[in-house]
Structure 1
Amino acid sequence: MQQTQQMEELNEKGELIISEVIQRVKSNFTKFEKFMKNQKNKKVILLCGNTGAGKSTIYNWLLGAGFKTVEKDGLSQLEPIHTNDQMYISKMGKCSTSVTQTSIYDFIEELGHVLIDLPGFESTIDEYHKLFIDVLFQKITTSFQTKIVYVLDSPQRELHNRGKDLIQFINQQIGQNPLNIQNIFLIINKYLEDDADDVQIKRIKEQLEGRPEFKQGMLKKIQIIHKIKNNEMIQNVFSEQARKSLILNLNESESITLQNQTVSQLSSCEIVNSYLMQKSTFYFKRLTEMSQQIIAMIQKKHKFSLIPSKQEETNPNSRVPKTIAGLYTLYSYMITKETTGLNEDDEFHNFKKIYKYFLPYQQHLSCFSCMSVYEQGEVTRFNSVIDYLSQNSNSQPEMTDQVQRVQQQTSVGQTQNLQAAEKSQNKWINIIGDIFSVIVVVFGKVYCIYTDMKKL
């Protein structure tokens, strides 16, 4: 009992968190889309990297901000300086603190692109914020022509853990398309050594060459930005000449191409996995209980008003929530002669929304393969019930003709509505004279269930 209650509380918490992530992404992305509609050039440059890598510093620099060093808590920090009243700079913080909590963006004329400062993937805020960043990244990169700039905090000549953060970013966000990998613009930030930039760039390439991600080609663009040790270095490192050089290199870089069906994994997927798995298990269990109830009714020689057709057990276009909702409606009508459905249920509506939202990530969320197996199992069970019912049928023989008659009436009088129902694969209700009909779609098949309104 206690374990069941804890599971319900976990599901409720998971649903709230995931729904909040979806809402935050929607809110952020809707604002960004409105901004992009006013831009003649729809191209994007996305500054990515872990928390504290220095993305906001580079964003502000490209925007045209100046800098000064200030002492905070005994440490010297860079602070941006507005160079005009219209400038909206991105907040900058310590290396261990995530300051940018949502995407900051502006169109930069010299770049001919909208520059976005994306919050760090390894956020220090909370677990669900990581999920928010992952999903927002995918929404932007799959909707607009995007150049990716990855900022790596790397002060030493040797990359930390052979560039572990960069490799993780590639595997989780970019995927294994070699052209996309080669087109990532890598900025080595806060470099402390005094050797020439081209020497360090060569050294970095040598360190990355042994990685499988770069077997088919090395990064085309790598740039070094040195760590500011004093105010005198600001004039050199963040000079206008250096800024124009970076802008030139960014303009020469190439876009990546990501598609929804090839998106990589989420870095914070457990909460989604757990919620979808637990919720679908609950609904599949309910279907099993309903099938057992029908078998008991068959054994008691119950007269059924409807014997549905069997379902195809393999359908690549099947979708779990639609299958659950369809089978639930058919079972409900067979049991009670009432068109009880799940689609009006708030919890099931949220389950469908979350399922659909994370469907592009199904290759990297184990719950989807599990749900697919359970789905096929329930369809097989449904077909077994129909076989058993057909063999032991006490149903009225004229029922098949009556269903056909309703289907004919619907096809003659409501053709457009029926086509719309087939397209959306949702339950659809229509009243024809004294006949109350419900269209149920399961695995792409349309069923007309009816009852005489006079008997209700």
Structure 2
Amino acid sequence: MMMQQEKLAIDEKTLLQIIDRISIQLDYFESKMQQNINVLILVGNTGSGKSTIFNFLCGAKFKYVVTEDDEYLDLAEKSDLYSEMNSGMKSVTKEPKYYYNEAFNHLLIDFPGFHDTNGEIDQLIIQMIFYKFITKSNVKIAYVITHPQNNFLERGQGLQQFINSVFKEGNIEISKLALILNSYQQNQSDKKLILLVQKQLQDLQDDKYDKHEWISVIRKIQSEEQLNKVFSDENREKLWLELITVNEIQFQPQVLPYSDKISTYITEKSNQILTQICQQMDFNLTLKQKDLNDEQFILLQSLINSIQHILSSTPEYIEDWFNKFINVSLELSQTFHFENDITENSSNFLKIFNFFSFFSEFICGYTAFEKHCIQVQQKCTYFLENLQKRIELQRAFEERNREQQSRIKVENQLTNEQQIRIQKEQMYTQEYENRIKYEQQLKMEQQLRTILEQDKKGMEKQYQEYCEKSLEIQSNLQKMIQSEKIEKQQVEQDLKKQLQELQNKLNEMEQRRKEWLEHRANRPHHGHHGPGPHGPGPHHPWFKK
């Protein structure tokens, strides 16, 4: 759900370049401030000779150049340490130049002119760097002013205009600044000139302020001889000793010139991003809420609570609120993989927004931004409250479904357990019946073995009797052989006959025994204990002789 970006009033790339240029200056400045260094800033309009004085204080050597068209000062030796000099009214200093005087422990800064013609962007950068410097620490300011005549009236008004335009409600007295009167060319002495300027300044301000104490004079150079005299090492030392006595002052800026484009950017871009976040959040969360698992739901609840807390709070600084809201929104999108371009649209904006928030009181776009934030608070609060209710209803419905499914699962489990218990009982019953049947079978087998033993003993006894009788008959036959040979054959025949009959009986008994065993094996088991009316009792044909 992407939104088409509106065309903004200023190029975002240009603003980022401004920030980079300013950040480089601030990083260097802050690194120096950590060394407990005093700061002396040279300011002044274009053509005031400010860069020349900076180079002089840095120890530069000059040469007096004479041409057919002009006469001017130039550096005897070029160096990156020095500010570029221009004899005309065109500014050549676009960014501050630095020089550290180790002997006096002062960081000298050559600032570009505040009313130069370098363009609005460069002027904005100059103003912002200056405001950053003077608000981050107490500094000393030396204002360089071209002063060729005794009359200070016109130049004094320019100085007053500088103070009123740069500092809040003119809260800096002229007497608190060091003044460097450059290019003075009258015969009057420096001392008398300073007294005259002090009186003129008091008259200019209607005796409102105290007498100006820090005023230095640089004579106009009109020859090589004057050059060596004015820019001597002695005068350099003297000027340094005058400047380091200036009191440090804490300033409070008044306005930020050329900030209207930044204001338009902040207003339009913030409204675009805030509107986009609300729409994407509404769309994505409504789309995703039905597919959340328990862990994601808990995380979503936590993030929603964080957003609601941010929306309901009234922070001291609205930019803090905006940063928190953006960060939580990004966390929400990244956590649940929402398709959005919040990161792409907000990363550069946050950098610009946070950087310029230092000057929020001078950029009216931040006031409009606060109104947008209030609207977003209302929209998001309403949306999140409805989303919270929908989620709670959905989770309650899902909870009821889970409870119902859990109850059905428990009932099914109880039913399954009951069936398993019944099956086990049936199995135990079957095992018990099988054990009873097995015991009965063992008992019947034991009874049959007992009967067989008894039958065997009876048969052995009968056999023994038959054997004894046979022996008796044989004995009688022997006796009869002696007495009756005639009857021998008859007797032998009788004996053989008897033996045959005996053998047939034995065969018959053996046959009956097999029949009984077969009968026993084929007979069904009815749980009857011992021989009964249908068992192998004494009247069974097997027992007949």
Counting helix residues as a fraction of each chain, which structure ranks higher?
A: 2
Corresponding residue SS for 1:8: coil
d(CA) in 1 for partners of 2:89 and 2:397?
A: 70
Shift of 1:249: 1.1
d(CA) in 2 for partners of 1:112 and 1:272?
A: 37
d(CA) in 2 for partners of 1:66 and 1:326?
A: 55
The one-letter code sitting in structure 1 at the alignment partner of 2:179 is L
Q: Is the 8 A contact 1:321 1:352 kept in 2?
A: no
Q: Does the C-alpha gap of structure 1 residues 292 and 189 become closer, same or farther in structure 2, counting only changes over 3 Å?
A: same
Number of paired residues? 382
Q: Is the 8 A contact 1:174 1:180 kept in 2?
A: no
Q: Which residue number in structure 2 is paired with residue 155 of structure 1?
A: 148
The one-letter code sitting in structure 1 at the alignment partner of 2:270 is S
Q: Does the C-alpha gap of structure 1 residues 315 and 251 become closer, same or farther in structure 2, counting only changes over 3 Å?
A: closer
Corresponding residue SS for 1:358: helix
For residues 230-267 of structure 1, the C-alpha deviation after alignment (integer angstroms, 9 at most, x for no partner) is 33432443344433332221122112224xxx444323
Q: Does the C-alpha gap of structure 1 residues 138 and 382 become closer, same or farther in structure 2, counting only changes over 3 Å?
A: same
Corresponding residue SS for 1:101: coil
d(CA) in 2 for partners of 1:387 and 1:87?
A: 62
Q: Does the C-alpha gap of structure 1 residues 213 and 95 become closer, same or farther in structure 2, counting only changes over 3 Å?
A: farther
Which one of the candidate residues 82, 89, 101 is aligned to 1:108?
101
1:255 lines up with 2:248 in the alignment: yes
Corresponding residue SS for 1:46: strand
Shift of 1:175: 3.7
1:273 lines up with 2:263 in the alignment: yes
Shift of 1:117: 1.9
d(CA) in 2 for partners of 1:180 and 1:399?
A: 73
Structure 2: stretches of 5+ with no match in the other structure = 400-545
Q: Which residue number in structure 2 is paired with residue 316 of structure 1?
A: 316
Counting strand residues as a fraction of each chain, which structure ranks higher?
A: 1
Q: Is the 8 A contact 1:121 1:134 kept in 2?
A: yes
Shift of 1:291: 8.2
Q: Is the 8 A contact 2:147 2:155 kept in 1?
A: no
Q: Does the C-alpha gap of structure 1 residues 87 and 289 become closer, same or farther in structure 2, counting only changes over 3 Å?
A: closer
Q: Which residue number in structure 2 is paired with residue 244 of structure 1?
A: 237
For residues 434-454 of structure 1, the C-alpha deviation after alignment (integer angstroms, 9 at most, x for no partner) is xxxxxxxxxxxxxxxxxxxxx
Q: Which residue number in structure 2 is paired with residue 367 of structure 1?
A: 365
Q: Which residue number in structure 1 is paired with residue 508 of structure 2?
A: none
Q: Does the C-alpha gap of structure 1 residues 267 and 71 become closer, same or farther in structure 2, counting only changes over 3 Å?
A: farther
Equivalent residues in 2 for 1:262-341, closer than 5 Å: 262-287=252-277, 289=279, 308=304, 310=308, 311-312=311-312, 314-319=314-319, 321-322=322-323, 325=326, 338-339=337-338
Which one of the candidate residues 375, 382, 385 is aligned to 2:383?
385
Q: Does the C-alpha gap of structure 1 residues 270 and 87 become closer, same or farther in structure 2, counting only changes over 3 Å?
A: closer
Q: Which residue number in structure 1 is paired with residue 452 of structure 2?
A: none
Q: Which residue number in structure 2 is paired with residue 406 of structure 1?
A: none
Q: Does the C-alpha gap of structure 1 residues 239 and 64 become closer, same or farther in structure 2, counting only changes over 3 Å?
A: same
The one-letter code sitting in structure 1 at the alignment partner of 2:380 is F
Q: Which residue number in structure 1 is paired with residue 71 of structure 2?
A: 76
d(CA) in 1 for partners of 2:371 and 2:379?
A: 12
The one-letter code sitting in structure 2 at the alignment partner of 1:146 is V
Shift of 1:108: 2.4
d(CA) in 2 for partners of 1:265 and 1:177?
A: 11
Q: Which residue number in structure 1 is paired with residue 213 of structure 2?
A: 220
Q: Is the 8 A contact 1:291 1:385 kept in 2?
A: no
Equivalent residues in 2 for 1:371-450, closer than 5 Å: 371-386=369-384, 395-398=393-396
Corresponding residue SS for 1:163: helix
Q: Is the 8 A contact 1:323 1:375 kept in 2?
A: no
Q: Does the C-alpha gap of structure 1 residues 389 and 234 become closer, same or farther in structure 2, counting only changes over 3 Å?
A: same
Q: Which residue number in structure 1 is paired with residue 126 of structure 2?
A: 133
Q: Which residue number in structure 1 is paired with residue 351 of structure 2?
A: 353
Q: Does the C-alpha gap of structure 1 residues 337 and 35 become closer, same or farther in structure 2, counting only changes over 3 Å?
A: closer
1:57 lines up with 2:52 in the alignment: yes
Q: Does the C-alpha gap of structure 1 residues 355 and 125 become closer, same or farther in structure 2, counting only changes over 3 Å?
A: same
Q: Which residue number in structure 2 is paired with residue 449 of structure 1?
A: none
Q: Does the C-alpha gap of structure 1 residues 129 and 317 become closer, same or farther in structure 2, counting only changes over 3 Å?
A: closer
Q: Which residue number in structure 1 is paired with residue 15 of structure 2?
A: 18
Q: Is the 8 A contact 1:45 1:115 kept in 2?
A: yes
For residues 60-107 of structure 1, the C-alpha deviation after alignment (integer angstroms, 9 at most, x for no partner) is 22223333321357121112335xx99943321123222233333222
Q: Is the 8 A contact 1:329 1:341 kept in 2?
A: no
Shift of 1:378: 1.5
Structure 1: stretches of 5+ with no match in the other structure = 402-456
Corresponding residue SS for 1:131: helix
Q: Which residue number in structure 2 is paired with residue 424 of structure 1?
A: none
d(CA) in 1 for partners of 2:68 and 2:379?
A: 67
Q: Does the C-alpha gap of structure 1 residues 211 and 324 become closer, same or farther in structure 2, counting only changes over 3 Å?
A: farther
Q: Is the 8 A contact 1:49 1:55 kept in 2?
A: yes
Shift of 1:348: 1.2
Corresponding residue SS for 1:166: helix
Q: Does the C-alpha gap of structure 1 residues 73 and 286 become closer, same or farther in structure 2, counting only changes over 3 Å?
A: farther
Q: Is the 8 A contact 1:70 1:76 kept in 2?
A: yes
For residues 174-219 of structure 1, the C-alpha deviation after alignment (integer angstroms, 9 at most, x for no partner) is 4458567643212122234433434443444445447779945454
Question: Alpha carbon RMSD of aligned pairs, Å?
Answer: 4.2
The one-letter code sitting in structure 2 at the alignment partner of 1:23 is D
User: How much identity, in percent, do the aligned residues show?
Assistant: 26
Q: Does the C-alpha gap of structure 1 residues 36 and 372 become closer, same or farther in structure 2, counting only changes over 3 Å?
A: closer
d(CA) in 2 for partners of 1:71 and 1:267?
A: 39
d(CA) in 1 for partners of 2:150 and 2:264?
A: 42
Q: Is the 8 A contact 1:44 1:115 kept in 2?
A: yes
Corresponding residue SS for 1:115: strand
Q: Does the C-alpha gap of structure 1 residues 216 and 380 become closer, same or farther in structure 2, counting only changes over 3 Å?
A: farther
Q: Which residue number in structure 1 is paired with residue 7 of structure 2?
A: 8
The one-letter code sitting in structure 2 at the alignment partner of 1:18 is L
Which one of the candidate residues 189, 194, 202 is aligned to 1:201?
194
Corresponding residue SS for 1:344: helix
d(CA) in 1 for partners of 2:397 and 2:196?
A: 79
Q: Does the C-alpha gap of structure 1 residues 368 and 399 become closer, same or farther in structure 2, counting only changes over 3 Å?
A: farther
Shift of 1:281: 2.4
Q: Which residue number in structure 2 is paired with residue 451 of structure 1?
A: none
d(CA) in 2 for partners of 1:392 and 1:89?
A: 69
Shift of 1:365: 0.9
Which one of the candidate residues 30, 42, 65 is aligned to 2:37?
42
